[in-house]
Structure 1
Amino acid sequence: MRTVFTAAAATIVLLASTLTAQAGVLNYVALGDSYTSGPLIPQQRSDPLGCGRSKSNYPAIVAARLGAHYTDVSCAGASTVQMAYAQPTVSGTNAAQYKALETYTDLVTVGIGGNDFDLFRTLIDTCPLLRASNSTGNPCERRFAVNGVDSIKAGIPKISERIKEVLSGIHVRSPRARVFAIGYPRILPPSGYCPNELPFADGDYAWLNSVEEALNAAISDAVKADGNSSYVDLYGPSLGHDACAGTAAWVNGRNDSWSPGAAAYHPFGIGMSGMADVVFQQVIRP
């Protein structure tokens, strides 16, 4: 009996110690694509390296400010599909992002949608090539007009439905977590042009802005339909920090940059800091 009592007592002491250590510690999980992971922003993590996951992205900054234990499984190129399915990268495989969620998870941020139906990639691969054909017009907008219908914007409501499903999947796996869907920061200025940084035809700037606005609205709409999560607007707070803003830019232009680090058309470290400010303020709001 003495041996049993001693073992049981030791187990209770160990359990009590563990619970005390964990008490009050926020368990935070970050899901998302490259606008969450931060490709080329120093220092890059290697779990896997192909995800372009930075130790200085907004989840890392927010977690540090909250004093939270955090798990970041965001990955460049991820779409809503990668929430439930593994994602092969150039240097390893990123597990299905849902796998990071636990029943005890307290906080989840998810920044996703821009890669669904190859939305961002299609625009980046197509629009710069059309500038030479009509630099002051809107050749890219016209390229995607099919029988008077904007084929790019026509697909965005489907992205909203997918994001709503993602939010539902998060709630099932982490029922007590506060969930925040993160929008995308402004890439283009509301007026003016900087073709050296953003090589789009002048007339396409307004259209591309409207596409990003539609994507952010789709994320917001998914949150409203979900009814149990919150939307974090980064588009409004990033006014004046678009890729044309010089040293104030949160987002890089067309060229990969190693100093300061940022992949083409992706946030700089300063952008991640600005995004973290916005996310943090909303997370701590009662």
Structure 2
Amino acid sequence: MHNALPRLRALALTVVAVTAGTLLSSPAHAAAPTGRYVALGDSFTSGPLIPDQVDLNCVRSNRNYPSLVARTAGSTSFSDVSCGGATTGDILNAGKGTLGLPVPAQISAVTAATALVSIGIGGNDIGFSGIVSACAQDGIGNPFGTPCRDRYTSGGTDQLQARIAATAPKVAAVVQAVRTAAPTARIVVVGYPVIVPDSGYGCWPTVPFAFGDVPYLRTVAKSLNAMLARTAAANGADYADAYTPSIGRDVCRGKSVRWVEGVVPENAAAPFHPNAAGEQAMATAVLARLA
């Protein structure tokens, strides 16, 4: 497969040099077709509320990072089956989308002819939306202390670290299923970008996490990404680091700077999800890894 994508890599090197705040678009001279590309994943992949939404049941945008990668790579065919709310189980089994309508198992889109597969999954397996909601509720009334950390470490066990550890074999199973379905495909596991600031204590009350909980949530995010990187490497897949390039683009930054929206989005996106600039940055991370 490494010999099948020479033009993709050459193009990716050019794309990485593009300023991060600019939306990726189709190059003036499109790359040679690189085969079939399939994107699997959850809402950080699908791009909820970013115009244009092309699948309301899966809150999927045509400006999410898979769409940008596909346009730049010049794939002969492209199938984006990412879906908001998806877990590893939804990649391997049929489920339901955000409107409650049936959604086929995402893995069914991967065929033997597939040349590239990106996978963005794991956040919902550890309960992302519930964590954000609980920690925000804990911090609304009082910015001091560590109510969220106390919630998830009561009894002497860090429940979120345990969830991350339990998710690792599930992500491994997804990568292995993709490899079985597409033996020659390049597989890229995509990490999650920064949400809370990479240093300091946040921006209560704009984002109502207690000051002491911000370092804890930062540790959880880094642990999740580290698990994804280890699992990818252990199963013969690449890992695209979306966290490091997004440092300084967190929910506490101004509207024109942030890549992930906060409680009340100022750019078109779902709360605590990447906006269009964030999806562009994730596309750049994937292309950089391919290069």
Same fold (TM over 0.5): yes
Counterpart of 2:28 in structure 1 is none
Q: 1:23-44: CA deviations, max 9, x gaps?
A: 9442100000000000000000
Letter of the structure 2 residue corresponding to residue 94 of structure 1: V
How many residues are paired up? 256
Query: In proportion to residue count, which structure has more helix?
Result: 1
**Aligned residues of 1:182 and 1:233 also touching (Cα < 8 A):** yes
Q: Which has the larger radius of gyration?
A: 1
Q: Is 1:99 equivalent to 2:108 in the alignment?
A: yes
Query: Percent identity among equivalent residues?
Result: 38
Q: Which runs of 5+ in 2 are unaligned?
A: 1-31
Tell me whether 1:125 sits opposite 2:133 in the alignment: yes
Displaced runs of 4 or more, over 6 A: none
Aligned to 2:78: 70
AA of the residue aligned to 1:146: S
- Looking at structure 2, the residues matched to 81 and 208 of structure 1 have their Cα atoms a distance apart, in angstroms, of 25
Distance 2:138 2:124 in 1: 21
Pair 1:87-2:91 in alignment: no
Pick the aligned partner of 2:282 from 265, 271, 275: 275
In structure 1, the residue matched to 2:233 is: 224
The one of the two structures with greater contact order (alpha-carbon pairs below 8 A, sep at least 6) is: 2
The 5 Å alignment of 1:16-35 reads 24-35=33-44
The structure 1 residue matched to 2:213, chosen from 193, 199, 204, is 204
1:135 aligns with 2:163: no
The separation in 2 between residues aligned to 1:276 and 1:43, in whole angstroms, is: 17
Offset of residue 83 of structure 1: 1.0
Q: How does 1:137-286 map to 2 (within 5 A)?
A: 137-189=145-197, 190-226=199-235, 228-246=236-254, 247-255=256-264, 257=265, 260-283=267-290, 285=291
Q: TM-score, normalised by structure 2?
A: 0.84
How far, CA to CA, are the matches of 1:216 and 1:25 in structure 2? 28
Contact 2:201 2:215 in 1 (8 A): no
- Quick check: 2:140–2:208 contact (8 Å CA) kept in 1? no
User: What is the SS of the residue equivalent to 1:262?
Assistant: coil
Partner SS, residue 29 of structure 1: strand
How many angstroms does 1:73 deviate by? Answer: 0.1
The Cα shift of 1:132 comes to 4.0
Alignment of 1:42 with 2:51, yes or no, is: yes
Secondary structure in 2 aligned to 1:219?
helix
Cα distance between partner residues in 1 of 2:68 and 2:151: 40
CA distance in structure 1 between the aligned counterparts of 2:36 and 2:65, rounded to whole angstroms: 16
Which residue identity lines up with residue 267 of structure 2 in the other structure? Answer: P
CA contact (8 A) 1:43 1:56 kept: yes
- Mark the runs of 5 or more structure 1 residues left unpaired by the alignment: 1-22
Deviates more, 1:141-150 or 1:175-184: 141-150
